[in-house]
């Protein structure tokens, strides 16, 4: 039955029943009946609905009907229910295609997510630093910059969804689970350093869950984890020093492009690790505000990250004979002809 999928696609498109009905040549009441599975659209109406909703007909007949659970939004108070519905619909659509691909593999070549064992107990923010370092050690990252955070998280069994939500500034992150697999959502509308901090913050929720005492605020702890995971303590000491009276703006900018962390977040790291005093940090943030850098930092932004893992697995599955051309094309939301051309790199000639 297509009711739930029609309702979700309509929410994603931001259309009322009346507007969708007019686009498909039926009444709003018929749209309501379709969504409640009281009636089925004819083939011509279904095609019109697909055109109006910008989805393929296969969308309505996918075998998977997954649900997000344990959903946690880091959203701003001004975000509307309509925007949240569009965001959730996009996340569910991408997650459904991921799980359909996953279920087609005899043995899916991605491990299940698991927290590193024997993480230290947390009593203070200093212990949060130790958790971040323990995760780095368990994942054999050393203290060097992480070049591609999305790729790292996906290789550890975390599903990362990059949404193109036009209202990206109205939410700061979304974490959920689908069939026990953790899902983290970020936006391609954000600069790369914001994407990465959000991803590391949500990773903090996964790693710190159940370990924090009531005396520590979870959001603040996850912020501390994110900074420590992206720019470890030893990395700060190696690049900035153990104690400074002043840090040059250009230093912060260069470190931003080395570690993928905003200039402001690096400044916070220096304050947290007592490389600079709280008073100096406050003074520098006042200068940030005066220079109007709080919303847009100077120089070129850190480039955004994109997920390619799903697409790579689709082509791998096609190459191994696990997926037919038509199924691969469906999962990538392109035509079979486009898939064959892409597969042979015909578009590059």
Regions of the chain short of the pLDDT cut 50: 348-349
Count CB-CB contacts under 10 A for residue 202: 28
For residue 253, give the nearest of 302, 292, 290 by alpha carbon. 302
How far is residue 278's CA from residue 15's CA, in Å, rounded to a whole number? Answer: 50
Beta bridge partners of 181: 178
How far is residue 37's CA from residue 275's CA, in Å, rounded to a whole number? Answer: 62
How open is the CA angle 254-259-262, to the nearest 5 degrees?
70
Beta bridge partners of 171: 75
Beta bridge partners of 174: 73, 185
pTM, full prediction: 0.82
The pLDDT value recorded for residue 61 is 76
Residue 175 backbone zone (phi > 0: left; psi -120 to 50: alpha; other: beta) = beta
The pLDDT value recorded for residue 339 is 93
The pLDDT value recorded for residue 349 is 46
Beta bridge partners of 69: 177
- Longest Cα–Cα distance of the chain, Å, equals 73
The pLDDT value recorded for residue 346 is 75
How far is residue 201's CA from residue 220's CA, in Å, rounded to a whole number? Answer: 9
Long-range contacts (CB closer than 8 Å, 24 or more residues apart) made by 118-125: 119/207, 119/211, 121/211, 122/208, 122/211, 122/212, 122/213, 122/216, 122/221, 123/213, 124/216, 125/216, 125/220, 125/221, 125/224, 125/272
């Amino acid at each position: 039955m297509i009711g739930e999928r029609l309702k979700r696609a309509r929410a994603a498109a931001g259309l009322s029943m009346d507007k969708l009905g007019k686009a498909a040549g039926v009444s709003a009441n018929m749209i309501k009946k379709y969504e409640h599975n009281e009636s089925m659209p004819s083939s011509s109406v279904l095609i019109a609905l697909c055109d109006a909703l910008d989805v393929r007909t296969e969308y309505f007949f996918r075998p998977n009907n997954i649900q997000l659970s344990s959903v946690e939004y880091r959203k701003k108070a001004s975000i509307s229910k309509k925007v949240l519905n569009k965001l959730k619909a996009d996340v569910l659509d991408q997650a459904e295609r991921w799980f359909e691909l996953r279920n087609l593999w005899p043995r899916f070549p991605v491990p299940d997510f698991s927290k590193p064992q024997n993480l230290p107990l947390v009593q203070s923010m200093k212990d949060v630093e130790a958790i971040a370092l323990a995760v780095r050690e368990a994942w054999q990252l050393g203290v060097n910059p992480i070049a591609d955070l999305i790729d790292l998280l996906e290789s550890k069994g975390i599903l990362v969804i990059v949404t193109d939500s036009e209202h990206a500034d109205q939410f700061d992150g979304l974490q959920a689970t689908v069939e026990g697999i953790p899902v983290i959502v970020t936006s391609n509308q954000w600069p790369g350093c914001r994407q990465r901090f959000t991803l590391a913050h949500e990773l903090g929720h996964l790693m710190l869950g159940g370990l924090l005492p009531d005396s520590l605020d979870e959001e603040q702890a996850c912020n501390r984890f994110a900074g420590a995971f992206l720019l470890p303590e030893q990395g700060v000491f190696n690049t900035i020093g153990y104690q400074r009276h002043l840090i040059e703006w250009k230093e912060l900018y260069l470190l931003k492009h080395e570690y993928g962390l905003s200039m402001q977040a690096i400044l916070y790291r220096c304050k947290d690790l007592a490389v600079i005093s709280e008073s100096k940090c406050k003074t520098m943030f006042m200068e940030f505000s005066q220079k109007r850098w709080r919303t847009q930092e100077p120089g070129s932004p850190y480039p955004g990250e994109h997920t390619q893992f799903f697409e790579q697995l689709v082509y791998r599955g096609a190459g191994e004979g696990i997926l037919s051309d038509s199924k691969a094309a469906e999962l990538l939301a392109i035509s079979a002809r486009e898939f064959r051309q892409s597969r042979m790199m015909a578009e590059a000639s």
